[in-house]
A and B are shown apart, each in its own frame.
Chain A
Amino acid sequence: GAGVSQSPSNKVTEKGKDVELRCDPISGHTALYWYRQSLGQGLEFLIYFQGNSAPDKSGLPSDRFSAERTGGSVSTLTIQRTQQEDSAVYLCASSLVGNQPQHFGDGTRLSIL
Protein backbone atom coordinates (compact mmCIF):
# COMPACT_ATOMS: atom_id res chain seq x y z
CA GLY A 1 0.00 0.00 0.00
CA ALA A 2 0.95 3.66 -0.21
CA GLY A 3 0.68 4.47 3.51
CA VAL A 4 2.93 4.06 6.51
CA SER A 5 3.08 0.40 7.49
CA GLN A 6 3.79 -0.82 11.01
CA SER A 7 4.33 -4.32 12.34
CA PRO A 8 3.30 -6.13 14.33
CA SER A 9 -0.12 -4.61 14.85
CA ASN A 10 -0.29 -6.14 18.32
CA LYS A 11 2.43 -7.42 20.63
CA VAL A 12 2.01 -9.06 24.02
CA THR A 13 5.13 -9.88 25.98
CA GLU A 14 6.30 -10.55 29.49
CA LYS A 15 7.91 -7.94 31.65
CA GLY A 16 11.68 -7.93 31.21
CA LYS A 17 11.67 -9.10 27.60
CA ASP A 18 13.01 -7.03 24.72
CA VAL A 19 10.70 -6.01 21.85
CA GLU A 20 11.27 -4.65 18.35
CA LEU A 21 8.69 -2.62 16.49
CA ARG A 22 8.99 -1.96 12.78
CA CYS A 23 7.96 0.96 10.59
CA ASP A 24 7.96 1.21 6.80
CA PRO A 25 7.48 4.87 5.84
CA ILE A 26 5.81 6.17 2.72
CA SER A 27 8.16 5.74 -0.22
CA GLY A 28 10.19 8.89 -0.83
CA HIS A 29 9.58 10.37 2.61
CA THR A 30 12.85 11.44 4.16
CA ALA A 31 11.54 12.26 7.64
CA LEU A 32 10.38 9.58 10.08
CA TYR A 33 8.97 9.97 13.59
CA TRP A 34 8.03 7.68 16.46
CA TYR A 35 5.34 8.58 18.99
CA ARG A 36 3.83 6.82 21.98
CA GLN A 37 0.14 7.02 22.86
CA SER A 38 -0.91 5.84 26.28
CA LEU A 39 -4.53 4.83 26.87
CA GLY A 40 -6.83 7.82 26.55
CA GLN A 41 -3.98 10.25 25.98
CA GLY A 42 -2.51 12.30 23.19
CA LEU A 43 0.64 11.38 21.34
CA GLU A 44 4.05 11.78 22.94
CA PHE A 45 7.05 12.45 20.68
CA LEU A 46 9.87 9.91 20.99
CA ILE A 47 12.40 10.30 18.17
CA TYR A 48 12.86 11.93 14.75
CA PHE A 49 15.00 10.85 11.79
CA GLN A 50 15.79 13.08 8.82
CA GLY A 51 17.84 11.61 6.00
CA ASN A 52 21.37 10.83 7.12
CA SER A 53 21.41 13.44 9.88
CA ALA A 54 21.81 12.48 13.53
CA PRO A 55 18.36 11.69 14.95
CA ASP A 56 16.64 13.83 17.56
CA LYS A 57 16.32 11.42 20.48
CA SER A 58 15.11 14.01 22.96
CA GLY A 59 11.75 12.31 23.52
CA LEU A 60 13.00 8.86 24.44
CA PRO A 61 11.87 8.22 28.04
CA SER A 62 14.84 6.12 29.14
CA ASP A 63 17.97 4.39 27.89
CA ARG A 64 15.94 1.21 27.48
CA PHE A 65 14.49 2.80 24.35
CA SER A 66 16.45 3.04 21.11
CA ALA A 67 15.68 3.33 17.41
CA GLU A 68 17.47 2.82 14.15
CA ARG A 69 16.71 3.75 10.59
CA THR A 70 18.53 1.69 8.01
CA GLY A 71 19.17 2.92 4.51
CA GLY A 72 17.05 5.97 5.08
CA SER A 73 13.87 3.93 4.93
CA VAL A 74 12.72 1.25 7.40
CA SER A 75 12.96 2.04 11.09
CA THR A 76 13.01 -0.21 14.15
CA LEU A 77 12.12 0.93 17.67
CA THR A 78 13.62 -1.34 20.34
CA ILE A 79 12.55 -1.45 23.97
CA GLN A 80 14.83 -3.44 26.24
CA ARG A 81 13.84 -5.01 29.57
CA THR A 82 10.23 -3.97 29.11
CA GLN A 83 8.23 -2.65 32.05
CA GLN A 84 4.47 -2.55 32.52
CA GLU A 85 4.46 1.22 32.06
CA ASP A 86 5.75 0.67 28.52
CA SER A 87 2.30 -0.63 27.56
CA ALA A 88 0.94 1.76 24.94
CA VAL A 89 0.31 2.20 21.23
CA TYR A 90 3.52 3.06 19.40
CA LEU A 91 2.86 5.12 16.28
CA CYS A 92 5.19 5.86 13.42
CA ALA A 93 4.78 8.77 11.02
CA SER A 94 6.63 9.99 7.97
CA SER A 95 6.72 13.20 5.99
CA LEU A 96 8.26 14.26 2.72
CA VAL A 97 10.70 16.49 4.57
CA GLY A 98 10.87 17.66 8.16
CA ASN A 99 8.55 20.63 7.87
CA GLN A 100 5.74 18.90 5.96
CA PRO A 101 2.62 17.31 7.50
CA GLN A 102 3.12 13.91 9.03
CA HIS A 103 1.22 10.82 7.92
CA PHE A 104 0.70 8.12 10.50
CA GLY A 105 0.62 4.35 10.46
CA ASP A 106 -1.98 2.43 12.46
CA GLY A 107 0.46 1.72 15.28
CA THR A 108 1.62 -1.26 17.28
CA ARG A 109 -0.38 -1.96 20.43
CA LEU A 110 2.15 -3.18 23.00
CA SER A 111 0.98 -4.94 26.14
CA ILE A 112 3.43 -5.88 28.88
CA LEU A 113 2.20 -8.58 31.24
Chain B
Amino acid sequence: GQQLNQSPQSMFIQEGEDVSMNCTSSSIFNTWLWYKQDPGEGPVLLIALYKAGELTSNGRLTAQFGITRKDSFLNISASIPSDVGIYFCAGSDPSGGYNKLIFGAGTRLAVHP
Protein backbone atom coordinates (compact mmCIF):
# COMPACT_ATOMS: atom_id res chain seq x y z
CA GLY B 1 0.00 0.00 0.00
CA GLN B 2 0.93 3.64 -0.08
CA GLN B 3 3.49 4.82 2.43
CA LEU B 4 4.38 8.29 3.51
CA ASN B 5 7.79 9.01 5.02
CA GLN B 6 8.05 12.05 7.28
CA SER B 7 11.31 13.51 8.52
CA PRO B 8 12.85 14.35 10.82
CA GLN B 9 11.22 12.25 13.53
CA SER B 10 12.00 14.89 16.13
CA MET B 11 13.61 18.29 16.44
CA PHE B 12 14.88 20.25 19.42
CA ILE B 13 15.53 23.88 18.58
CA GLN B 14 16.09 27.27 20.16
CA GLU B 15 13.31 29.84 20.20
CA GLY B 16 13.62 32.09 17.18
CA GLU B 17 15.11 29.46 14.90
CA ASP B 18 13.48 28.41 11.65
CA VAL B 19 12.24 24.83 11.24
CA SER B 20 11.81 22.66 8.17
CA MET B 21 10.20 19.24 7.89
CA ASN B 22 9.14 17.21 4.91
CA CYS B 23 7.19 14.24 3.66
CA THR B 24 7.77 11.97 0.70
CA SER B 25 5.53 9.29 -0.71
CA SER B 26 6.01 6.23 -2.88
CA SER B 27 3.14 7.33 -5.11
CA ILE B 28 1.20 10.38 -6.19
CA PHE B 29 -1.14 12.33 -3.94
CA ASN B 30 -3.62 14.92 -5.17
CA THR B 31 -3.85 16.76 -1.86
CA TRP B 32 -1.33 17.42 0.88
CA LEU B 33 -2.33 18.57 4.34
CA TRP B 34 -0.31 19.59 7.37
CA TYR B 35 -1.73 19.15 10.88
CA LYS B 36 -0.45 19.96 14.38
CA GLN B 37 -1.40 17.87 17.38
CA ASP B 38 -1.02 18.93 20.99
CA PRO B 39 -1.07 16.35 23.82
CA GLY B 40 -4.54 14.98 24.51
CA GLU B 41 -6.08 16.75 21.56
CA GLY B 42 -6.98 15.95 18.01
CA PRO B 43 -4.93 17.19 15.05
CA VAL B 44 -5.64 20.75 13.95
CA LEU B 45 -5.38 21.65 10.27
CA LEU B 46 -2.59 24.14 9.51
CA ILE B 47 -2.34 24.25 5.74
CA ALA B 48 -4.06 22.47 2.84
CA LEU B 49 -2.44 22.17 -0.60
CA TYR B 50 -4.38 21.13 -3.70
CA LYS B 51 -2.15 21.80 -6.69
CA ALA B 52 1.31 20.61 -7.68
CA GLY B 53 3.81 23.41 -7.14
CA GLU B 54 1.47 25.34 -4.86
CA LEU B 55 3.17 27.37 -2.14
CA THR B 56 0.90 28.51 0.69
CA SER B 57 1.54 30.53 3.84
CA ASN B 58 -0.37 30.77 7.10
CA GLY B 59 1.33 33.32 9.33
CA ARG B 60 4.80 32.00 10.15
CA LEU B 61 4.04 28.70 8.41
CA THR B 62 4.79 28.00 4.76
CA ALA B 63 4.10 24.74 2.95
CA GLN B 64 4.62 23.56 -0.60
CA PHE B 65 3.10 20.81 -2.72
CA GLY B 66 5.97 19.23 -4.68
CA ILE B 67 5.98 19.33 -8.47
CA THR B 68 6.20 15.54 -8.68
CA ARG B 69 3.11 15.29 -6.37
CA LYS B 70 5.12 12.88 -4.24
CA ASP B 71 6.43 15.28 -1.63
CA SER B 72 5.66 18.31 0.51
CA PHE B 73 7.49 20.44 3.04
CA LEU B 74 6.48 22.66 5.94
CA ASN B 75 8.59 25.53 7.20
CA ILE B 76 8.07 27.41 10.45
CA SER B 77 9.89 30.70 10.76
CA ALA B 78 11.00 32.37 13.99
CA SER B 79 9.78 29.55 16.23
CA ILE B 80 8.12 30.33 19.55
CA PRO B 81 7.44 28.06 22.56
CA SER B 82 3.83 27.45 21.57
CA ASP B 83 5.02 25.80 18.35
CA VAL B 84 5.80 22.74 20.47
CA GLY B 85 3.82 19.71 19.39
CA ILE B 86 3.65 16.97 16.82
CA TYR B 87 3.33 17.92 13.17
CA PHE B 88 1.76 15.47 10.76
CA CYS B 89 1.69 15.50 7.02
CA ALA B 90 -1.17 13.73 5.29
CA GLY B 91 -1.76 12.90 1.68
CA SER B 92 -4.99 12.12 -0.06
CA ASP B 93 -5.26 8.96 -2.15
CA PRO B 94 -6.54 10.09 -5.54
CA SER B 95 -8.20 6.77 -6.32
CA GLY B 96 -10.57 7.07 -3.39
CA GLY B 97 -12.65 9.93 -4.76
CA TYR B 98 -12.47 11.65 -1.42
CA ASN B 99 -9.92 12.59 1.22
CA LYS B 100 -8.91 9.15 2.39
CA LEU B 101 -5.89 10.47 4.19
CA ILE B 102 -2.63 8.65 4.67
CA PHE B 103 -0.61 10.12 7.52
CA GLY B 104 3.08 10.33 8.18
CA ALA B 105 4.39 9.22 11.57
CA GLY B 106 4.87 12.82 12.70
CA THR B 107 7.66 15.23 13.56
CA ARG B 108 7.96 16.02 17.26
CA LEU B 109 9.06 19.60 17.78
CA ALA B 110 10.50 20.91 21.02
CA VAL B 111 11.39 24.60 21.37
CA HIS B 112 13.83 25.72 24.02
CA PRO B 113 13.18 29.29 25.28
Contacts and interface: CB of A to CB of B under 8 A. Distances in A.
Contacts of A48: 98, 100
Given A101-B33, A101-B48, A45 B100 contact: yes
B98 A42 contact: no
Contacts of B6: 42
A100 B48 CA distance: 9
A75 interface: no
A43 B103 contact: yes
A77 to B, nearest CB: 15
Contacts of A105: 42
Sorting the interface of chain A by its residue count into under 10, 10 to 19, 20 to 34 or 35 or more gives 20 to 34
Contacts of A99: 31, 97-99
Interface in A41-99: 41-45, 48, 50, 56, 91, 93, 95, 98-99
Interface of A: 4, 31, 33, 35, 40-45, 48, 50, 56, 91, 93, 95, 98-107
Interface of B: 4, 6, 31, 33, 35, 40-45, 48, 88, 90, 96-106
